[in-house]
Chains A and B, each alone.
Chain A
Amino acid sequence: MNRSAKDDLAKDDLARDDGRGAISRRHLLAGAATSALLGTLRPAEASQRTETTQSAIRRFAGEAEIRGGRVSLDLPPLVENGNTVPLTVAVESPMTEADHVRRIGIFNEKNPQPNVVTLHLGPRAGRAQVATRIRLADTQRITAIAEMSDGTYWSASADAIVTLAACLEG
């Protein structure tokens, strides 16, 4: 093939900022990334959400106070594809008859629907730790809320940046 034609495309140049040409190329790439995000976002625009996150959380916890702590939420900070995002939630609890986690609700901010998953546990679980895989339509904050057997609610949040694959099918 014509190697000299390929030589026009500098590996180094793609990343180098020489204060001149590089900037316009960066803008081109940034523009592409922005339109990409808008494309992804479209189904999740606020106006199309079935319910607000706050309302879904209130349906889960009622008017109870939700305190920070006891819950840990683990998901990759940089998500390579929002179609499948590994998530692990764990709650500090002895998981005994007298003191255990009853439910864990997981909520998103920007998907079309605020609920992600609701988990029902009990003392038979032995440990309050569950792993699953979720979808994220966009960069957003995920919140996990645990309901304890004493009726208290505890929560944790984690942010995930959803990046976009460069080459998509079709």
Chain B
Amino acid sequence: MARALINLPKTAKAGDVIEIKTLISHPMETGFRPGPDGRILPRNIITEFLCRFEGEEIFRAELFPASAANPYLTFTTVATRSGTFQFTWRGDGGFDQTETATLTVA
């Protein structure tokens, strides 16, 4: 499991726009770079990031080799009700990881 850090407020008022910050540990090997032996290292990147709230997609990103290592994405969403966010990263070599975080809307 890659280490992921997700930061969002624990609570919000209905209608608030909240900011969600995500970081995940990943080399994002571009596939354009030679290794120590001079041969091109095979591409190994995260190709997709998806954030769902209670099953509904609220944000998605397609990533390319031009994303920095340890991909960072910050985006916003409107707090509507209490519930669970699901964060999914997918990529080369069958990389597939999902993390969750909850939000309480008062």
Contacts and interface: CB of A to CB of B under 8 A. Distances in A.
Interface of A: 43, 83-85, 108, 111-113, 115-122, 124-127, 129-136
Nearest to A120: B60
Nearest to B74: A131
A124 B78 CA distance: 6
Interface string B31-63: 011000000000000000000010011111111
Contacts, number: 93
Contacts of B75: 119, 121, 125, 129-131
A43 B29 CA distance: 14
A165 to B, nearest CB: 15
B24 to A, nearest CB: 12
A127 B19 CA distance: 10
Contacts of A119: 59-61, 75
Interface of B: 17-18, 30, 32-33, 53, 56-69, 71-78
Contacts of B66: 108, 111, 113, 115-117, 134-136
Given A43-B33, A124-B56, A124-B77, A131 B72 contact: yes
Contacts of A131: 72-75
Contact of A118 (B57, B62, B77, B78): B62
Given A117-B63, A124-B58, A125-B76, 4 more contacts: A113-B32, A126-B18, A132-B73, A136-B66
Nearest to A50: B32
A125 B59 contact: yes
Interface on chain B toward A: helix, strand, loop, or mixed SS? strand
Nearest to B66: A116
Nearest to A129: B76
A121 B61 CA distance: 9
Given A43-B32, A119-B61, A126 B68 contact: no
Contacts of A118: 61-62
B14 to A, nearest CB: 12
15 contacts: A43-B33, A113-B32, A115-B64, A116-B66, A117-B64, A120-B60, A120-B61, A120-B62, A121-B59, A124-B53, A124-B59, A130-B61, A132-B68, A132-B73, A136-B66
B4 to A, nearest CB: 15
Nearest to A104: B61
B78 A116 contact: no
A166 to B, nearest CB: 21
